[in-house]
Structure 1
Amino acid sequence: MRVLHFFKTYLPDTTGGIEQVIFQLCEQARANDVQAQVLTLSPEPTPETINVEHHQVTRARQNIQIASTGFSLDVFKRFSAMARESDVIHFHFPWPMMDLVHFCTRHGRPSVVSYHSDIVRQQSLLKLYRPLMNRFLGSVQRIMVASPNYQQSSEVLRHFSDKTVVVPYGLDANAYPQASTERLDYWRKRVGEAFFLFVGVLRYYKGLSSLLDALQGTNFPLVVIGNGPEESALKEQAARLQLQNVVFLGRLDDEDKVCLLQLSLALVFPSHLRSEAFGISLLEASMLGKPMISCEIGSGTTYVNHHEVTGLVVPPASPQALRAAMQRLWTDRVECMRFGAEARLRFEQLFTADRMWRNTLAVYNEAIDVAQRGA
């Protein structure tokens, strides 16, 4: 089987959660004798074809970007050629350009969509896009969503319940580096131990402003891994609030991230909008047996972090609730350990890369069968 993944950005240009899901699927495909490759856009596609670990990535030139949507003239021809050599097309939603390419190329291949998130911010543009979006989702054989929470709470997916399948995201623990003694010692000396940790791209929906407000008047240490468009504003806020125990580390590699997760007390993931559909950082914390604090936003974050089992779930955009949850974990280390152990168990039961791959492969086969029957 030959699978073509199609999304607007990918490694090494960007490193978000969707990119991590595609990466895990491509690597698991190779381990199971399935050929997977990625077609994406890049502002500087030199070279045009690269390898990311063990799979090939083709990068078409991005001409312009409007409302977080990349556009490319070159991608139509590239997609058409690559689709002809593929057995299944795996689209990653949302990206309106993808819908146009799908219809304009008339590729005729069995298609599945990973529905990563509703469109939350661009409501005005959504009114214009909705007819094309509905036609696109109606034309594919299967739609995958990462949690039953998101399936039930998405107004869009309610219209396509007959073709929607829940396939939770997963990670391969063996693909992450082991934290060396030297790096652990380095970070222990630099930031200490038993701190609260945030990991992610610093975007508008991550809720970090509320988290910084929650720290005002406390001595809780917070380490922030990641960069992004909100970085300057968040650093200014931390300075204005005179927060002495907040450290912004920027983007780090996986070994350093693993070190800091191991040294941390708990992961705080304060995303407050449905643009946060799942939270790969929550999976990473679960994988390493760490308790979590997250917000109830009707998405997969609460599917990963089960309230009072793997951690604590609080109302969104509530500094007071975040502060209370942090105080509880800070005070009760036995409960922290219990939550962490349950998080690791839940990861093994639901969120491994192997499980995600096996479920995805079943969806590919369903899509091929449906396409052949003309259903």
Structure 2
Amino acid sequence: MRVLHFYKTYLSETVGGIEHVMFELCESGAQHGIESQVLTLSANPIPAVIPFGTHEVHRARLDVQLASTGFSYSVFKQFRELAAEADVVNYHFPWPFMDVVHFLSGLNKPSVVTYHSDIIRQKLLLKLYQPLMSRFLASADRIVVASPNYLHTSDVLKKFPEKTRVIPYGLNKAAYPKTDTERMARWRERLGERFFLFVGVMRYYKGLHILIEALKDIDYPVVIVGAGPLEAELHAQAAALGLRNLHFVGRLDDEDKAAVLELSYAIVFPSHLRSEAFGISLLEGAMYGKPMISSEIGTGTSYINIHGETGLVVPPSNPPALREAMRTLWENPVQAAAMGAKAEARYRQLFTADEMGRQWNELYQELLAEKALSYA
């Protein structure tokens, strides 16, 4: 079976949750006999085709970018050619230009939309885009979302209950680097034996300003891994509060990130807006057997982290509640360890890359069988 994945960005030019999910989907699919190709945009698409893991990445030239939406003239031809060879086209939503490509290409292939997130921030543009978006989603054979929580809280998805399925994102722990003793010792000397950990890009919806505010007048060690547009602002906030035990370590390579994850005491994930549709780095914490603290925002974060079982879930944008959750885990290490063990068990049950690949293979096969009957 051949599947074409279509999205505006991809590894390794950009590193984000959607790109990571697409990679895991392609790689896990290969274990089930699925041959995947990715079509994406690039400011420098030379070479136009590159091997990546077990799949190929085809790159069309990015001509212009407006409101986080990439546009390309050449992608129309590439899309038509690649879609003609595919058995299924898998779109990754949201990307309004993708809808235009879909309709103008006259696609007549089974299609699936992986629905990563509602459009949250660009409310004015959403009003303009709404008719096209509704028509595009209605044209898809299946819509797939990563958690029942998101399905139940998305006003958009509520309009398509008959075609929407839930397949959680999955990670392959075997693909993560094994941490060596020397590297672990170096990080242990730098950060200590116990610390809360955040991993992610410093974006507006990550709630890092809430975490920093929660650290006022307490001294729990916290490590922040990542960089992003709010980096300078967050450093300034921490300095103004005089925080002494907050460590900004910047973006880390895979080996160092794995070491810090393994060494950490608990994961703190303060995302406070629905733009955080799932939380891949939260899932990484579960994969490493760490108790978690997250906020209730009606998305996949509360599907990964079950309050009182795998960690603690607090109201969003509430520094005192976040502070109290940190105190609870810090002062109750036996309880924290038990939650971490349950988090890892939940990962193994629901969130492995192999389980994701198995469910996607079933969905593709179901769709192809359905189409074959309709053509008979």
Do the two structures share a fold, i.e. TM-score over 0.5? Answer: yes
Tell me which residue corresponds to 2:150. Answer: 150
Match of 1:226 in 2: 226
Give the whole-Å Cα distance in 2 for the aligned partners of 1:81 and 1:179: 43
Cα shift readout 1:297-336 (whole Å, capped 9, x = no counterpart): 0001000000000000000011111111011111111111
Aligned to 1:159: 159
Partner of 1:162: helix, strand, or coil? coil
* Matched residue, 2:73: 73
Secondary structure in 2 matching 1:193? coil
Give the equivalent residue in structure 1 for 2:207.
207
Normalised by the length of structure 2, the TM-score is: 0.97
Most deviating of 361-370 and 87-96: 361-370
How big is the shift at 1:373? 4.4
CA gap 1:282/1:332 in 2 versus in 1, 3 angstroms: same
Aligned letter for 1:324? E
Q: Once the 2 structures are TM-superposed, how far is the Cα of residue 52 of structure 1 from its aligned partner?
A: 1.9
Partners of 1:141 and 1:370 within 8 A in 2: no
**Aligned-pair CA distance for 1:142:** 0.3
Unaligned runs of 5+ residues in structure 2 are none
1:257 maps to what in 2? 257
Matches within 5 A, 1:53-64: 53-64=53-64
Partner of 1:272: helix, strand, or coil? coil
Shift of 1:14: 1.3
Q: Tell me if the contact between 1:112 and 1:367 (Cα under 8 Å) persists in the aligned partners.
A: no
1:175-254 correspondence to structure 2 within 5 Å? 175-254=175-254
Quote the Cα distance in structure 1 between the aligned partners of 2:301 and 2:291. Answer: 13
* CA distance in structure 1 between the aligned counterparts of 2:330 and 2:338, rounded to whole angstroms: 14
Cα distance in 2 for partners of 1:247, 1:75 equals 43
1:30, distance to aligned residue in structure 2 (A): 1.9
| Residue correspondences, number | 375
Aligned to 1:82: 82
Stretch moving more, 147-156 or 239-248:
239-248
How far off its partner does 1:369 sit?
3.1
* CA-to-aligned-CA distance 1:86-144 (integer Å, 9 cap, x gap): 11101111110110111111121110011111110001100010100010000010000
Hey, what does 2:22 align to over in structure 1?
22
Q: Which amino acid aligns with 1:293?
A: I
Aligned to 1:122: 122
Asked if structure 2 preserves the Cα contact closer than 8 Å seen for 1:141 and 1:371, the reply is no
Distance in 2 (CA, whole Å) between partners of 1:298 and 1:5 is 27
Inter-partner Cα distance in structure 2 for 1:3 and 1:251: 32
Paired with 1:121 and 1:265, the residues of 2 have a C-alpha distance of 33
TM-score (norm 1): 0.98
Aligned partner of 1:63: which letter?
D
CA distance in 1, matches of 2:89, 2:132: 18
Gapped runs of 5+ residues in structure 1?
A: none
Root mean square deviation of aligned Cα: 1.2
Residues 32, 358 of structure 2: 8 Å contact kept: no
- 2-side partners of 1:76 and 1:374: how far apart? 28
Structure 2 CA distance, aligned partners of 1:59 and 1:232? 33
For the Cα contact (< 8 Å) 2:293–2:314, is it kept in 1?
Answer: yes
CA contact (8 A) 1:290 1:343 kept: yes
CA distance in 2 between partners of 1:91 and 1:226 (Å): 28
Percent identical residues: 58
* Contact in 1 for aligned 2:32/2:361 (Cα 8 Å): no
Shift in Å at residue 179 of structure 1?
Answer: 0.9
